Structure 1
Amino acid sequence: MPFQLDAMSADALAKYVTSELKRIRPGTEGNIDIVCVVSWGRDRYALGAYSHFAPEQIRRFQDKMAKPWQRIFFAGEHTAIASGGMESALESGERVSSEILARIGLSSPQAQAP
């Protein structure tokens, strides 16, 4: 199905999503406006919505993908542990901000929380 959605124009995809929302949640009819359609599958740099690892890859590369190198810090859903998708992108952003604060000698706001 994802490839079929990526093949649709933005207008066709918006109509399809609106009709599916109406089908599964009738109360959304007339209450939803789709203002932007993004196809990560058609984006030449992303080519999809999330990373996918083969068996054993995470075990071999997890600690290396997120490890800072000199002044470069790595964030992205592929470096997170707890979640997948957008939540993991946010998780990795929080991790990197804490790493940077620690590197410059400041504590992170998370460390100050009760």
Structure 2
Amino acid sequence: MTDKLRFGQFISEKRIQHSMTKQELSRQIGISTAYLSQLESGARSNPTIEVLDRMINKLHLDEAETHKIYDLYAASNDTISPDIITYLKSNNIVTKAIRKAQENSATEKDWLDFIDQLQK
């Protein structure tokens, strides 16, 4: 299964869980029903971040589901999750930390230790 299809299937599953038709969701988020169909089928995978955020809102996605749709969006568009981009842009120190980790060849264990420290 391709990343584009996984992204579209996630949208479709959430829409169906909320008993919404394609027409209802597309109207509520300001896109055509044809475009929503293309997103769900994997034919397209690049809605604007504004459309993606309206979709998250109208589908009442919780934090874990929001992270999942952002990650699926990123994978299907060969990019970084939109929430991560926003965080990076608003926190210059994060960019410095990533560069330092890169310079020092940080391992997965290093990152897991860092995450553990953040959770304390």
Give the TM-score taking structure 1 as reference length.
0.27
Structure showing greater Rg? 1
Using CA pairs below 8 Å that are at least 6 residues apart, which structure has the higher relative contact order? 2
Give the TM-score taking structure 2 as reference length.
0.26
**Between Structure 1 and Structure 2, which shows a larger proportion of helix residues?**
2
